[in-house]
Structure 1
Amino acid sequence: MNRRKKINQLLKANAKKASAKLAPKSKDRYISKADRLKLAAEADPETTVSAQS
């Protein structure tokens, strides 16, 4: 009984990990502060140039 329980436990754990990988992610991907500044500069170059001067 103990061996069967341990094998079932491992199989359930692996199935849980596999289904978690397939589930949609709730959080957005992390964007670093430097990347956010680059994106802001590309989106609106006039305001960032005047702000830096």
Structure 2
Amino acid sequence: MNRRKKVNQILKKRAKKANDKLNSKAKPRYVSKAERAKLEQRSGEQK
């Protein structure tokens, strides 16, 4: 692989990672089954 191609490949990889970090909020945070049970129990107590 020549030098220019290697440098371009590294720069593209960095740009892609930076872009992914900015747009990674599409998926909601994972909540475990135990946490969901706790939340439901708390909401049941409040009513």
TM-score by length of 2: 0.84
Of the two structures, which has the highest relative contact order with CA contacts closer than 8 Å and spacing of 6 or more?
1
**Structure 2 unmatched runs, 5+:** none
> Quick one: which amino acid aligns to residue 22 of structure 2?
L
Report % sequence identity: 57
Cα distance, 1:45 vs. partner? 2.4
- Deviant stretches of 4+, over 3 Å: none
Matched residue pairs, number? 46
TM-score by length of 1: 0.76
Larger Cα Rg: Structure 1 or Structure 2? Answer: 1
Residue aligning to 2:34: 34
> Quick one: which amino acid aligns to residue 21 of structure 1?
K
CA RMSD across the alignment: 1.9
